[in-house]
Amino acid sequence: MDILEEIIDALQSDEETILATIISTNGSTPASALSKMLVKDGGKKWLGTVGGGCLEGDVLQEAITMFGSGASKILSFELNETNLDQGLICGGSLDVLIEPLLKKHLVFFREMKQARDNGDDCIQVTFIAQDGKISFKHCLNMSQDWNDGMMEWWKNVDGRSGLTMEIVVEGIKKTYRRNETERLKNANGELILEPVQGMPSLIIFGGGHVSKYISRSAAMVGFHVTIIDDRPEYANPVRFPEAKKTIACDFAEAFGQIEIKPSTYVVIVTRGHRSDEEILSHVVEKPAKYIGMIGSQRKVLTTYKHLVERGISIETLRKVHAPIGIEIGATTAEEIAVSVVAQLIAVRRGEVDRLENKSNVMRKLIT
């Protein structure tokens, strides 16, 4: 279920819809910041979640009362032992923005979805006036020259917000750096800066058994998968129905058909050591978020030695996850795939240092 797709479909069909978003949290909460719930059909249908239990019930009931109002509202919840009627004893607090979505916002949501699907990180800018009305929404694409775009955009909206450009720019930088919502308030209302991460693309070199299960698992958790193999029978939509793209050609030629961006993940699992080494030499200095290569410690050390002889620095090689995956004792192709995708998720969520990675030993060896 894709909330952005659901929003666009609803606005295109003139279906009145309410969106609830957790915009800030403190302490332990039942759902993370940026969790969303879409309320449709006057409250008879809803998608997504803001944590479940009585809290979600309260949000749903409030959303039902807001149909037809055109005004938004921010609800605050304290979840602790002194407030047991919430049904959730988490010991934290959170704020939920509940906003009616309007037809005029359709262009904004389309732009946001296109940027996200292209793998571009964005900042969603929403200004709520004192009367609760959404004064404006804007999508800042952080992969583009947003400073120039910000200047032009700000000329049209600064009078409505009452905030200085310097304050807003600092808020945008903080939102992007921390990947969390920033809220800027003044007498005119509140500016909410919400990070929207680009859809991560996963390029898998090799179409063998391990790749088959990595692709399935990665697609299930939200990666846009591309499969590359020099054998057509191993790189095709029948073998990889969940992949967005399959490329059957020589590995070296494939680089002209792909783009490796800061949001790109690369997994190298071909059938031969020489192919793995050659591919790694092409991608190791690219701005990928993640590069992983399958293989034993001996194979990895040999590969690194050859690449150092070719002029690639040890420091550059230290960013490679090899051997690939989280250490869970995996032996089968399916288990190895779980190990690898778990590592992809850890990198995506910024948790990789908390886990035992197979590549940790290798990084010590090449220091």
Mean pLDDT (10-residue bins), the chain, 367 residues: 89 90 78 81 81 83 88 85 49 86 91 89 90 88 68 62 81 87 89 90 97 97 95 97 97 94 93 93 94 93 94 93 93 96 91 68 65
Kind and range of the H or E element at 46? strand 45-48
pLDDT given for residue 353 in this prediction: 65
pLDDT given for residue 44 in this prediction: 76
SS (H, E, C) 102-126: CHHHHHHHHHHHHHHHCCCCEEEEE
pLDDT given for residue 40 in this prediction: 86
d(Cα 328, Cα 348) in Å, to the nearest integer? Answer: 19
Nearest to 293 by CA among 335, 349, 336: 336
- Both tokens of 21, joined, read 């978003």
Q: What domains, with CATH codes, occur in the chain?
A: 1-101 (no CATH), 107-198 (no CATH), 201-365 (3.40.50.720)
| β-bridge pairing 182-186 and 92-101 | unpaired
d(Cα 124, Cα 95) in Å, to the nearest integer? Answer: 17
d(Cα 308, Cα 317) in Å, to the nearest integer? Answer: 9
pLDDT given for residue 84 in this prediction: 45
**Backbone phi and psi for residue 342, each to the nearest 5 degrees, phi listed first:** -60, -40
Return the residue matching tokens 């807001």.
66
- State the number of CA atoms in the 13 A half-sphere of 77 facing the CB: 32
pLDDT given for residue 111 in this prediction: 93
d(Cα 16, Cα 108) in Å, to the nearest integer? Answer: 17
Residues linked to residue 196 through DSSP beta bridges, in sequence order: 122
Residue 131 CB neighbour total at 10 angstroms:
10
d(Cα 285, Cα 69) in Å, to the nearest integer? Answer: 53
Task: Report the SS3 class of residue 44.
Answer: coil
Helical pair 146-161 and 165-178, crossing angle rounded to 10 deg: 120
Residues with Cβ within 8 Å of 324's Cβ and at least 6 positions away in sequence, in order, are 267, 269, 292, 293, 294, 295, 339, 340, 343, 358, 359
pLDDT given for residue 119 in this prediction: 84
d(Cα 347, Cα 216) in Å, to the nearest integer? Answer: 18
d(Cα 222, Cα 20) in Å, to the nearest integer? Answer: 22
Task: Report the SS3 class of residue 92.
Answer: strand
Task: Report the SS3 class of residue 200.
Answer: coil
| β-bridge pairing 290-293 and 264-268 | parallel
- Both tokens of 115, joined, read 């940027």
pTM of the entire structure? 0.73
Strand order in the sheet with 17-26: 45-48, 36-40, 17-26, 92-101, 73-79
Total residue length of the chain: 367
Nearest to 93 by CA among 46, 23, 189: 23
Residues with Cβ within 8 Å of 46's Cβ and at least 6 positions away in sequence, in order, are 37, 38, 39, 40, 60
Residues linked to residue 126 through DSSP beta bridges, in sequence order: 137, 192
Strand order in the sheet with 182-186: 134-141, 122-129, 189-196, 182-186
- Both tokens of 103, joined, read 């037809």
pLDDT given for residue 34 in this prediction: 78
Nearest to 19 by CA among 62, 54, 81, 79: 62
